[in-house]
Amino acid sequence: QSTQRWKTQCIYQILTDRFAFSDEDHPKAPSTGRMYLGGTWRGIARKLDYIQELGCTAVWISPIVKNIEDVTGYGQGYHGYWAQDLLDVNPHFGTKQDLIDLVQQLHDRNMLCMVDIVVNHMAHAGSGEIDYSKYRPFNSEADYHPRRYVQNYDDTVDCETGWLGDDTVGLMDIRTEEPRIQAFFQDWIRDLVETYHFDGLRIDTIKHVHREFYPPFIEASKVFTFGEVFHGDPRYVGDYLQYMPSSINYPLYYQIRKAFAQLPRISMKEFYDKAILEARAYIPDTTVLGNFIENHDVPRILGMTSDSSLLLNALVALIYLDGIPIVFQGQEQMFVGGDDPENRNALWSSHYDTTHFMFNVLSKMIHVRQSLIQKFPDFCNTLSNCLYLDNHNYVFERPGCIVCLCNGGSNSNFKFPVNVPVEQGTVARFMDIWTEEIFDASPSSPSTLNLIVDAGLPKVLVQPSSILR
């Protein structure tokens, strides 16, 4: 039930510290760097109209627990992943009541809230002696694996028992294989979800905790879960899906990045083979994965290519391919930036401009997707079906729509016929969601739609009746 409901969402990923202030915007506030900048839960609550205008129906927020306060060589724990006290909230983000209110306000708007959580580690600044007494509840050396940093991310034992991080910030690796620790975490997550009424979880560092930890933990939470399996291989991710309902879709991400952002770009044929066919071979249900083209750990697309037609294609792939789309804050304002912290600029620098070209283009795509879901209840469970494929163009259909992706770039133009399944005695009519141009395909056999791709731009064609105005 919960999985089915999540499948119909479009999620907006928020970095709580960098999304919005509690009250009137501070015009001179910095918007980049490695220190806390001042975003809060009350700030998020103030900007729900903005998120809804974009069309998103759920939010994913940063980890909420109290972090270490140190100013380290990598700055502060503004992202929320450097836990110190699992039983208290991060005072920089607000109070418990503020968080309860935020989730309540989301629910009042029929929106969902997903919280990011970390069970793998706590954090320690520097290479020196650790004062365990400041950590809650894991306040003893015996609660952690010995300090030894992960060297090989493809070695399971190294990954699961080593510490992430380094001598600047060490991520103290909790002994999650011990039954008493598992029992704590099960009670903890039950309480956390009940206290704040969260609707879903994003679990951090999945690869770093042994798999058997997850099923009883997720069961105790009683909500839908995305695991962060940071790996481009669908075999690897597919394996984890025996232990959790869903994962963040790194395999798709890497193929989108190779097809639309990095040079040399792979052909759309290769994209189709890897991103669609290979994924389906190893992942039981690709419609449940959390799709993204940017997040807080990878460079922005415009950090890799400056061609906005390629960016638009990547966005169309994000919203219409099988899976649950996750929009990372700032994408709608065409933020640029490489590795962290450059990909984490604060949204206030955009003045939340709802007249921005990209805000409107994205909002249209997301709203059309929501309309299709209402008109075709099985939209989210239906795999995309390939209608046409060449080196630069890939056309697929999903219920009520035909989508054309092109990776030729803004200097390319194409014209090709696409065979569209049309029932005898009917005419299939499609409308371009941006230009409102009408395309008819009649059942002469085969029924064809002549598509013209201009300046490498993507196309989204929908049955006009499926657009709810």
Largest CA distance in the chain: 79
Q: How many residues bind ligand ABC (CB under 6 A)?
A: 20
Rule CB under 6 A: is residue 254 a binding residue for ligand ABC?
A: yes
Catalytic residue among 228, 294, 322, 397: 228
294 binds, among Ca ion, ligand ABC, none (CB under 5 to 8 A by kind): none
Rule CB under 6 A: is residue 282 a binding residue for ligand ABC?
A: no
Minimum distance from residue 359 beta carbon to Ca ion (Å): 40
Of 171, 72, 160, 52, the closest CA to residue 112 belongs to 52
173 binds, among Ca ion, ligand ABC, none (CB under 5 to 8 A by kind): Ca ion
Binding to Ca ion by CB under 5 A, coded x per residue (else -) over 118-157, reads --x-------------------------------------
**Distance in angstroms (rounded) separating the CA atoms of residues 302 and 260:** 11
**Distance in angstroms (rounded) separating the CA atoms of residues 222 and 227:** 15
153 binds, among ligand ABC, Ca ion, none (CB under 5 to 8 A by kind): ligand ABC
Is 177 part of the annotated catalytic residue set? no
Minimum distance from residue 40 beta carbon to ligand ABC (Å): 18
Residue nearest to ligand ABC (CB): 232
Q: Which listed residue (92, 207, 258, 369) binds ligand ABC by CB under 6 A? A: 207
Catalytic residue among 160, 199, 204, 322: 204
Is 85 part of the annotated catalytic residue set? no
Binding to ligand ABC by CB under 6 A, coded x per residue (else -) over 65-84, reads ---------x----x-x---
User: 145 to 204, contacts with ligand ABC by CB under 6 A?
Assistant: 153, 164-165, 169, 204
Residue 120 or 343 having the CB closest to Ca ion:
120
**Distance in angstroms (rounded) separating the CA atoms of residues 261 and 54:** 24
Rule CB under 6 A: is residue 388 a binding residue for ligand ABC?
A: no
Rule CB under 6 A: is residue 230 a binding residue for ligand ABC?
A: yes
Rule CB under 5 A: is residue 173 a binding residue for Ca ion?
A: yes
Rule CB under 5 A: is residue 182 a binding residue for Ca ion?
A: no
Catalytic sites, residue numbers: 204, 228
